[in-house]
Amino acid sequence: MTDPLPTTETEAAAELEALAAEIGRHNHLYHNDDAPEISDAAYDALMRRNAAIEAAFPQLVRADSPGRQVGAAPTGHLAKVAHARPMTSLDNAFADEEVAEFVDRIRRFLKLAPDEPVALTAEPKIDGLSCSLRYEDGVLIRALTRGDGQVGEDVTANVLTIGDIPRRLPGDTPAIFEVRGEVYMAKADFTALNARLAAEAAETGKEPRQFANPRNAAAGSLRQKDATVTAGRPLRFLAHGWGEASALPGDTQSSVVAALRAWGFPAADLFATAATVEDALTLYRRIEAARADLPFDIDGVVYKVDRLDWQQRLGIVGRAPRWGLAHKFPAERAQTSLLAIDIQVGRTGALTPVARLEPVTVGGVIVTNATLHNFDEIARLGVRPGDRVLVQRAGDVIPQIVENLTPEAAHPPYVFDCTCPACGSTADREESEVVYRCTGGLICPAQRVERLSHFVSRHAFDIAGLGQTLIEAFFHDGLVAAPADIFRLTEEQLAARKKDGRVWAGNLIAAIDAKRRVPLDRFLFALGIRHIGEVTARDLARRYVSARALGAMLRGAVHLHHATQPQIGEPERKFVLRRDRLLVARIDTAGIGPEVAHALIGFAAERHNRDAVYDLLRQVEPLDVVHEVRESEVSGKTVVFTGTLETMSRDEAKAQAEALGAHVSGSVSKKTDLVIYGAAAGSKLKKATDLGVRAIDEAAWGEIVRAAE
Ligand SMILES: NC(=O)c1ccc[n+]([C@@H]2O[C@H](COP(=O)([O-])OP(=O)(O)OC[C@H]3O[C@@H](n4cnc5c(N)ncnc54)[C@H](O)[C@@H]3O)[C@@H](O)[C@H]2O)c1
Ligand SMILES: [Zn+2]
């Protein structure tokens, strides 16, 4: 967990509340709908976060804390029946040390000597759903799902269709005995079932029902109202415990499991006992190594205290027994083939490469694509379509490629052609960045809504009554695709959208018309060019004064840009742009900086963008910047700033002087009228003194400025 814990009670209580709601929602999706939205690892991370906050703020533990609950209360169509003994969950461990702590806790609880051995059983943790089978006088009379641990769903009819489950126990068995275990679906059966469902759907022309993983398939198949559906599903059963029992056929976990086997229940082949923590961990690794070859999905190893008298004393705390622990496996990995690399375009134009994979089950979920983060990652992994790759799902829901398993040069290298797949514009990146962005901001379908919303926003065109929601609606209805379209909207079009919409339409058109003349800086800012925020837009506007002058400069720059591009071909060509110092130098003045220069040229070099701007210029007129000059004692004079100014930047000082009608020069000569010096002023100040030029400090300059206000 990387996020720091909340520091105040208020924050902690708020987060616990949010977690309870979120985890509750996922419990419902997982346990009742068999349709989880997040991975188990992501779910476990939420639970751990909840537990960590509860440990830091024990007074805030909620009555409905997810840490106290088992599963989810059943809500479906099946009859709800109370359990004779609660069906619990298990505490989780992820690291080896946690297993040692588990045994230490048991020793402390039972007040055992430190060297007293605590024998544990170890067995795979099957990814299915638990089920309790009640036998009375050796006959199966009821089967219940776990539900919320107190109340389960009656699935007796369904369970009778499962071949692994005996209907009747042989010979002399206790009068009452509840066998508990997992109903699961084998991996191969799961794949076949999904294929069958797809084929059936294709025949009837319906949308196929596909299960995300074997666990969901098992749960969805068992919890059917119509047991004949269950009968057609390849469900299996593994016994691992018991509930109410009038007598027990042994005094250890292992001897009871052996009896269950003798009665005809399948139990895990990899079941074993361990005398020490080290032995338990050895079993864990053995089971982990066997994992991929097991016919069913498992997500960890379950340890239980072998002695039943100790289990009895240890009892249950909250949602789980003190005598059991689920030691989960780390993120699962799997091999598959990289079919293709696609590029997704985000709402702000960022391009993300996505790996299309041959479907593979990783950690119980079918994975068909993985993120590659960015193009550097593709280079780092050296992956090419056709390669075998190692895929992993970690705490994150999005799977990732961790390694390329195909030797060098087996397939042609992946080449990114630096164009946006959504609009065909050039994609560019800055030297300091790894992310490529589409430069077709105004025309790129992936970015349009975002750009249009920006265009009408408060600091841009600021059109009264035209916000994001309306712009989105106009876009979806095909009324507005580019900024210029806003100015082509008609009252008739708008009025037709609302009942009695005349007045509204009239007002909106008037508000739009009122913005047909806007200050140049707003116009520039509204275009949504990267790095051109409000301040930079204002700087650019001040420097170029008119749209015409700015346009002329850009035309020149773009012409030069195209002329300096080597002829088509290698991808590098397209970003020569950002290395072209000469070009950038043309606009990299007045503190505008190379990043802004690159962004501007990149934008202007794109024909679609130019067309969109010309189209807009037929509708609106950007107003020239009028430099207001105030009369002051320095009007018409030449001033020089030197040294380090304390209260303002050099740029601001220069702007101040210009606003007062002064000319700012960089060097001191006989023509200089005034030198303003800051700290550590050197040769210029000396020269001024030598030439007899008047020199004042920053504070005195401040007085001149204030006097002119
Ligand atoms: N992805 C999601 O949205 C989501 C939501 C809820 C739960 N989950 C998953 O379910 C887990 C929580 O469910 P849970 O309460 O069932 O806990 P759990 O799955 O971590 O462990 C308890 C269960 O393990 C099962 N089990 C399997 N093999 C066993 C064995 N050999 N011995 C004893 N029990 C065995 C039993 O059914 C028992 O109830 C989470 O950790 C997460 O993995 C995921
Ligand atoms: Zn694009």
Q: Which ligand 1 atom is the nearest neighbour of the CA of 71? A: 15
User: Measured in angstroms, how far is the CA atom of residue 206 from the centroid of ligand 1?
Assistant: 33
CA-nearest residue, atom 43 of ligand 1: 40
Model confidence band, residue 585 (pLDDT cutoffs 50, 70, 90): low
Ligand 1 site, residue 302, Cβ cutoff 6 A: yes
To the nearest 10 degrees (0 to 180), the angle between helices 534-544 and 593-604 is: 80
Ligand closest to CA 90: 1
CA-nearest residue, atom 15 of ligand 1: 89
Residue 666: per-residue pLDDT? 85
Q: Which residues contact 492 (CB under 8 A, 6 or more apart)?
A: 505
Ligand 1 pocket: which of 26, 125, 325 to mutate (most atoms within 8 A of CB): 125
Residue 397: per-residue pLDDT? 52
User: Measured in angstroms, how far is the CA atom of residue 126 from the centroid of ligand 1?
Assistant: 9
The C-alpha atoms of residue 442 and residue 444 are separated, in whole angstroms, by 6
Ligand 1 site, residue 595, Cβ cutoff 6 A: no
User: Active site includes 125?
Assistant: yes
CA-nearest residue, atom 41 of ligand 1: 44
Contact 385, 414 (CB under 8 A): yes
Q: Which ligand 1 atom is the nearest neighbour of the CA of 124? A: 31
- In angstroms, the first-to-last Cα distance of the chain is 56
Q: Which ligand 1 atom is the nearest neighbour of the CA of 72? A: 6
Binding residues for NAD(+): 40-44, 89-90, 123, 146, 182, 304, 328
Q: Which residues contact 598 (CB under 8 A, 6 or more apart)?
A: 428, 430, 577, 578, 584
Residue 568: per-residue pLDDT? 39
Residue 578: per-residue pLDDT? 45
CA-nearest residue, atom 31 of ligand 1: 125
> Does the structure show a pLDDT above 70 at 433?
yes
Ligand 1 site, residue 145, Cβ cutoff 6 A: no
Binding residues: 40-44, 89-90, 123, 146, 182, 304, 328, 420, 423, 444
Ligand 1 site, residue 218, Cβ cutoff 6 A: no
Residue 569: per-residue pLDDT? 43
Write the secondary structure of 655-679 as one string of H (helix), E (strand) and C (coil). HHHHHCCCEEECCCCCCCCEEEECE
> Does the structure show a pLDDT above 80 at 340?
yes
Beta-bridge mates of residue 663:
638
Q: What is the pTM of this model?
A: 0.56
- The DSSP output letter for 177 is E
Task: Decide if the complex's ipTM is over 0.90.
Answer: yes
CA-nearest residue, atom 32 of ligand 1: 240
User: Measured in angstroms, how far is the CA atom of residue 486 from the centroid of ligand 2?
Assistant: 21
Model confidence band, residue 587 (pLDDT cutoffs 50, 70, 90): low
134-170: pLDDT as tens digits = 999 999 999 999 999 999 999 999 999 999 999 999 9
Mean pLDDT of the chain: 87
Nearest residue to 221 via CA among 188, 181, 194, 251: 194
Domains defined for the chain, CATH in brackets: 9-69 (1.10.287.610), 92-328 (3.30.470.30), 333-404 (2.40.50.140), 427-623 (1.10.150.20), 638-707 (3.40.50.10190)
Of 125, 654, 684, 687, the active-site residue reads 125
- Half-sphere exposure for 424 (CA within 13 Å, toward CB): 3
Report residue 495 CA to chain centroid gap.
41
Residue 115: per-residue pLDDT? 85
CA-nearest residue, atom 29 of ligand 1: 125
User: Measured in angstroms, how far is the CA atom of residue 316 from the centroid of ligand 1?
Assistant: 16
Model confidence band, residue 571 (pLDDT cutoffs 50, 70, 90): very low
> Does the structure show a pLDDT above 60 at 502?
yes
Tokens representing 60 are: 């805030």
Residue 565: per-residue pLDDT? 56
Residue 302: per-residue pLDDT? 98
User: Measured in angstroms, how far is the CA atom of residue 125 from the centroid of ligand 1?
Assistant: 8
Model confidence band, residue 573 (pLDDT cutoffs 50, 70, 90): very low
